Structure 1
Amino acid sequence: MKKISILGSTGSIGTQTLDVVAMHPEDFAIDGLAAGSNTALLLEQCRRFKPRRVSVGSKALADEIRSSLPDGTELFYGEEGLVEIAAGGEAEMIVTALVGSVGLESTLAAIEAGRNIGLANKETLVTAGHLVMEAVRRTGVSLLPVDSEHSAIFQCLNGENRRDIAGITITASGGSFRDYSRAELSNVTVEDALRHPNWSMGAKITIDSATMVNKGLEVIEARWLFDLPYEQIHVLLHPESIIHSFVEFQDSSIIAQLGSPDMRVPIQYALTYPQRLVSPAKSLSLAETGRLTFREMDLVRYPALRMAIESGKAGGTAPTAFNAANEIAVARFLRREIPFLRIEEIIDEVLQRHQNTASPDLQQIKECDAAVRTLAAGL
């Protein structure tokens, strides 16, 4: 039985990870759960899965739930609590399902503790890919992608010689506004943006899908996961979200991974690799699907994707600045402080002012992240 801890257990990926665990109780046990402020759901998860260790976002929240936890459950809180769940206990694998750069230090702590990683927190590689991958190489742990696109590429490369890769293509649904012109985006609402046509995701990732920031973060993540130059990483619009990504080889052969749009499939594959178990997801019927369509990615229509790729190519602290600016801008949009198109404008203004630092250490990354957040909050 594999022992698992989940960072971000009450979010979209965290709850779907627990769906997988619940379907295979003989294969998995929960060692630790870390959540932010959704203590009601966390307590429900504790009663059902009986983790030995739990963490919440603050001391006040910890004091609030302490008496409601099952006997013997260790309780932690804050950033130190995330690190305890990630690096302490008996978990063999840590599923990093946190949203945003908050997952970086706990992921690094888990790697240093020799834990295998199921990575759903793409911002970890976006902000500090050089540090994370160096730690993975040094410790010899496994870092398995949970994002559907990166899981697809990982599966397509099984048994293949990496030197034979001509390129990889990450598919994109296009998000909530894929059929909107730029002019039509001027007056869209938060509710409009949160209605993703294909996937069930958290609010922040759904907004990132609408701006195509999410795809930009995935391009940067793919650069680190698969050690490929940006020139070999492509993005293609695929509204049906059936082909999750594909790889082209030097002989012009293409291997793609297909499936219904259900995150529990790549989550489960990361948990069980190299084995496959029966999945809770619906089986794909291509006959029912009927047809698959594709469109070239328009970087004028989606300037945030262009800025993400440019930041990735620049390296250093540029991806950190891009990500931090976006996190603040999206939070402001969700609070209805700014219109939708202002998200891209804030990212652009931040990047125009950013002084890049090459090969940053963790402290420099944290300082850049904090400074950009302050700047973006005031723009």
Structure 2
Amino acid sequence: MKKISILGSTGSIGTQTLDVIRKNPEKFEVVAISANSSVNLLLEQIKEFKPKYVAVYNESSAEKLKSMIPNNINIEVLSGMEGLEKISSLDEIDVLLTAIVGMIGLKPTLAAIRCGKTIALANKETLVTAGKLVMSEAKKYNVDILPVDSEHSAIFQSLNGENYKNIDKIILTASGGPFRGKTKDELLNVTKNEALKHPNWSMGRKISIDSSTLMNKGLEVIEAKWLFDVDYKDIDVVVHPQSIIHSMVQFNDSSIIAQLGCPDMRLPIQYALTYPDRILNDFERLDFTKFSTFTFEKPDLETFPCLKLAFDCLKMGGTYCAVLNAANEVLVNEFLEDKIGFYDIPYYIEKALEAHESIEDPTLDEILSVDKWARDFVIKSIN
């Protein structure tokens, strides 16, 4: 039985992870869960899964949760970054599934790696901001980083048994989001509610906005570079609106191997938790007779400049990717609060990148400092 700690158990990936565990109680034990402030859902999860630890990042919410937990439940309530780091590095856990949103996942992930825990990674910002550092630590401590994103899981599965040196190209697929086929003029005044309506996937608010701008795909390009040790020139993005082919690998002999399946995040979650095994589930099976056509398009970089910005940051190296990520996190939040427009997101990201003095081969403290600088810069710029 694998013992699991989940960072971000109340979000979209976290709740779907618990659904996988719920269906396989003989295979998994939930040792610890966490959230930012969603104490009501946390309490429900505590009652059902009976973890030994719960971490609430928001300290006042942690105190509130303590007062809500019945006396007959024995659980340790932790708070802040220290709480997240503790549940990530517990002696008794085998796997840390990191589904927390944003830069906040970096330090707990590093803590888990340094304690030799297997990482099931859904928090793409960890590798976007500190890919070189994280992968170096994983190698040092002989830790497996298993991708949970559907695209990276597809690549990982396509590379099973293959020599990474034979990779010619990684082909990341994108649904195109809710605005595929739209022009820039048509998107000037779109609202957050329009941007949140993803055509194929059920996702959280932040990742849904990232999907609408194609920044999500840009972050995935950066993540793929570190996960699979490839040059940015060897990563392509292709729009595949049906979301059935989740990504592909082209090899040096011109062969292409792809992973296909119905769009259901529980599949890559389950694969990361059970790797290297596969187990039976009741997920929808792909019926090819229902799909008469698979279509593919080039991404429109003029209408969706965030994807180009991500490639530019990879090319420039240093701490540009950390700036990209931090600026984007702030701007997506501002857009969700109706304080800025859709195209203010790439506009202010580009301004932050232009103002940044990059650091080559940064330390963790330097990455955290750059992250703070970028957030402060964007807030000052939009105000």
TM-score interval for Structure 1 and Structure 2 normalised by the shorter chain: over 0.9
2:46 aligned residue: 46
Report how far residue 290 of structure 1 moved. Answer: 2.2
Alignment match of 1:182 (pick from 181, 184, 188): 184
Matches within 5 A, 1:257-272: 257-272=259-274
Moved more, 50-59 or 17-26: 50-59
The one-character-per-residue Cα deviations of 1:169-203 (angstroms, maximum 9, x if unpaired) are 00001111112111100111110000000000000
Which segments of 5 or more consecutive residues in structure 1 lack a partner in the other structure? none
Deviation readout 1:142-174 (Å, 9 max, x if unpaired): 110000000000000001122221111000011
SS in 2 for 1:296: coil
Alignment of 1:1-379 (within 5 A): 1-69=1-69, 71-379=73-381
How far has the Cα of 1:57 moved from its partner?
Answer: 1.9
Structure 1 residue 67, shift from structure 2 partner: 3.4
Partner AA of 1:275 in structure 2: D
Matched letter for residue 360 of structure 1: P
Distance in 2, matches of 1:360 and 1:162, equals 26
Work out the CA distance in 2 between the residues paired with 1:67 and 1:26: 31
Could you tell me which runs of 5 or more consecutive residues in structure 2 were left unpaired when the two chains were aligned. Answer: none
Kindly state the Cα deviation for residue 141 of structure 1 after the two structures are TM-superposed. 1.2
SS state at 1:295 partner = coil
CA distance in 1, matches of 2:187, 2:304: 12
Mapped partners of 1:330, 1:99: distance in 2 = 12
The 1-side partners of 2:50 and 2:68 are apart by 12
Deviation at 1:378, TM superposition (A): 2.1
Distance 2:106 2:161 in 1: 30
The more displaced of 318-327 and 245-254 is 245-254
The answer on whether the counterparts of 1:23 and 1:280 sit within 8 Å (CA) in structure 2 is no
Distance 2:165 2:281 in 1: 32
Question: Which stretches of structure 1, 4 residues or more, deviate above 3 A after TM superposition?
Answer: none
CA–CA distance in 2 between the matches of 1:229 and 1:59? 41
Output the CA distance in 2 between the equivalents of 1:309 and 1:211.
14
Q: TM-score, normalised by structure 1?
A: 0.98
The alpha-carbon deviation at position 89 of structure 1 amounts to 4.6
Tell me, in whole angstroms, the C-alpha distance in 1 between the residues paired with 2:92 and 2:211. Answer: 35
For 1:49, give the aligned amino acid. F
Aligned counterparts of 2:182 and 2:232: Cα–Cα separation in 1: 28
Please report how far the alpha carbon of residue 123 of structure 1 lies from its aligned counterpart in structure 2 after TM superposition.
0.4
**1:268 touches 1:279 (CA, 8 Å); kept in 2?**
no
Contact 2:7–2:98 at 8 Å: present in 1 too? yes
Give the aligned residue type for 2:219: L
- Aligned-partner SS, 2:157: helix
The one-letter code of the counterpart of 2:53 is: R
Q: Separation in 2 of the partners of 1:130 and 1:211?
A: 26
* Bigger Cα displacement from structure 2, 108-117 vs 64-73: 64-73
Greater CA drift, 156-165 or 29-38: 156-165
Letter in 1 for 2:177: G
Residues paired across the two proteins, number: 379
Q: Determine helix, strand or coil for the equivalent of 2:169.
A: strand
> Would the aligned equivalents of 1:168 and 1:233 in 2 still touch at CA under 8 Å?
yes
What RMSD in Å do the two structures reach over aligned CA positions?
0.9
- More divergent stretch after superposition (155-164 vs 95-104): 155-164
Note the C-alpha offset of 1:252.
1.1
**Offset of 1:61 from its aligned partner?**
1.3
Instruction: Confirm or deny: 8 A CA contact 1:43 1:68 kept in the other structure.
Output: yes
Contact 2:13–2:265 (8 Å) recurs in 1: yes
2:176–2:299: 8 Å Cα contact kept in structure 1? no
Distance 1:89 1:56, change over 3 A: farther
What CA distance in whole angstroms lies between the structure 1 residues aligned with 2:77 and 2:105? 19
**1:264–1:279: 8 Å Cα contact kept in structure 2?**
no
Separation in 2, partners of 1:94, 1:330: 27
For residues 376 and 213 of structure 2, the distance between their equivalents in structure 1, rounded to whole angstroms, comes to 22
Checking the alignment, whether the CA contact within 8 Å between 1:53 and 1:89 is kept in structure 2 is no
